[in-house]
Amino acid sequence: MADWNYEFFWKEILNQMIEELGEQEFSRWFTLLEYLGATENTISLGVPSNFYREEVKRRYKTRIEEKLKMVIEKDIGLVFEIVQQQPKKTMVQSNPEAPTTDTTGECKEKKEKPDSALSYQMTYRDVSSVPSAHTTTKRHPQLKADYTFDAYVIGDNNSFAANAAIAIAKNPGVTYNPFFLYGGVGLGKTHLLQAIGNYVYANAPETKIVYINTETFLNEYVDALKEKNMSSFKKKYRYVDVLLMDDVHFVQEKEGLQEELFHTFNTLYESNKQIVFTCDRPATELKKISDRLRSRFERGLNIDLQPPNYETRYAILKKKAESKNVVIPDDVLALISKNVSSNVRDLEAALTTLIAYADLVGKIITVEIAHQQLKDLFATPKQINMSIDIIQRVVADYFKITPDDLKGKKKSQNVVFPRQLAIYISREITEFSTTEIGQAFGGRDHTTAMHSCNKIRERIQTDPTLDSTIQSLIRMIKESNGKR
Ligand code: ADP
Ligand code: MG
């Protein structure tokens, strides 16, 4: 796929948008967008979270595409990707009046920043020429310098995984190999994965560390096939000391890629090289992958990340605010921690929004401002809850209990059985992993969800009526879903 450079046009669109929207609205939505690249007919933009992607699409996608058509004189579609961004740091550095980062990495006292349209336009123009805050210290080219163990808040939800990651980083290839880290989106998998790499690199820079997202791995594999260049592809991944492979669920349904990964795995494993995978679900739940690859994933240590509880969310926000050198009142942090419980990425997005707002209007953030600025984020129900919600409602109605009973802790048989059934149906008719389903059923963990599915499967064997009950429930669920 050839790369096209439309960045010049993208900047032109930004200039038009700032004029049309005004600074406040522009900064709210556009400072977080990042031009990632283009193909002949598409431009890819990075956004920090699912929430932003949906909002930006809803509000501006058509308008931007119309403008692109005017400027480039052909139809260009926008594609959004969720990526980790550092717009704040970039903005700070491109602005001479903003706080600077000293050599110890600590930020000096925060000052007011100018809020003219020009400063935002400058920010975009300067992005490529701005040195990152970390260029003075040696850093691995593929790893984000911020993704360190120091910056990672350890709570009940992730302590097992974080401690394993630290042990691996101290002794790669020796302690736990492979390490298979899984969990829902935005829970810190990539951060921990890269923290291993950063730690190893800082302590032993000669170590050959390769970080790769599985989607990129796939693209490189396809290119290598096309260009008949498999030997250099193989070399790149089979001669490394630490292979950090992110989002390995992308191998599902791709047989050739699985085969390649299987052999890469064997080569590395046999020579005691460290392999770490992240995945959005447990290895047992990967669909359409070969048994032999699945068994390789399961061979070492498999640990999941759970969503953080309130205290951990609060601690994460506090740490993030400190690292950005911004003081946010405790009651505002508490408000966000209470209302944004789905994942850490959305927590960060909330914080970034407030900081951008405070910068722009020069006001101290209060609970009222936070409520007003974050109302969309607070109100957005997670996609996951929307369809599982319906399953819960229909099953609860059918058994004359409430959805809260299904999510609650009651252990009486008249609740336990419908709960197991609703979990089983969720697993059958949605794409959610047991981790996500457990979460939607009152924050249970994936083993409980798996246990429920097994119980129902056993019961289907002995109770001939159960299957037809399930089928009629599924019909009702689908009908309700259609009416929404
Ligand atoms: P995932 O790969 O699981 O989708 P990421 O690793 O990309 O999630 O995390 C999303 C964001 O949340 C990142 O900016 C990361 O730094 C932050 N984050 C996640 N967990 C933590 C944590 N425990 N402490 C600090 N930051 C965290
Ligand atoms: Mg990730």
Give tens-digit pLDDT for 52-78: 788 888 889 999 999 898 888 888 999
- What is the per-residue pLDDT for 87? 34
How far from chain centre, in Å, is Cα 242? 22
Q: Is the pLDDT of residue 385 over 80?
A: no
Residue 323 to residue 134: CA distance in whole angstroms: 14
Sheet holding 242-246, edge to edge: 209-213, 242-246, 274-279, 179-182, 301-304
Mean pLDDT of 283-294: 90
- What is the per-residue pLDDT for 482? 62
- What is the per-residue pLDDT for 274? 98
| Helix and strand numbers, DSSP H then E, in the chain | 22, 8
- What is the per-residue pLDDT for 24? 65
**Residue having the nearest C-alpha atom to atom 26 of ligand 1:** 152
Kindly give the distance from the C-alpha atom of residue 188 to the centroid of ligand 1, in angstroms, as a whole number: 3
**Dihedral, CA of residue 52, residue 54, residue 60 and residue 65, to nearest 10:** 110
Kindly give the distance from the C-alpha atom of residue 43 to the centroid of ligand 2, in angstroms, as a whole number: 22
Q: What percent of the chain has pLDDT over 90?
A: 51
| Ranges in the chain annotated CATH 3.30.300.180 | 7-82
What's the pLDDT band for 466 if we cut at 50, 70, 90?
A: confident
Q: Which fold has domain 388-482?
A: Chromosomal Replication Initiator Protein Dnaa; Chain: A; (1.10.1750)
CATH number of 159-305: 3.40.50.300
Q: Is the pTM of this model over 0.85?
A: no
pLDDT tens for 322-368 read 988 888 999 999 999 988 877 899 899 999 999 888 888 878 889 99
Q: What percent of the chain has pLDDT over 70?
A: 85
Check if the beta carbon of residue 1 is closer than 8 Å to that of residue 222.
Answer: no
Kindly give the distance from the C-alpha atom of residue 110 to the centroid of ligand 2, in angstroms, as a whole number: 31
What's the pLDDT band for 376 if we cut at 50, 70, 90?
A: confident
What's the pLDDT band for 84 if we cut at 50, 70, 90?
A: low
| Ranges in the chain annotated CATH 3.40.50.300 | 159-305
Q: Is the pLDDT of residue 14 over 50?
A: yes
Instruction: Give the ligand at the shortest distance from the Cα of 345.
Output: 1
Q: Is the pLDDT of residue 393 over 80?
A: yes
| Ranges in the chain annotated CATH 1.10.1750.10 | 388-482
Q: Is the CB of 283 under 6 A from ligand 1?
A: no
- What is the per-residue pLDDT for 480? 79
Report the candidate in 139, 16, 146, 151 with the shortest Cα–Cα distance to residue 70.
16
CATH number of 7-82: 3.30.300.180
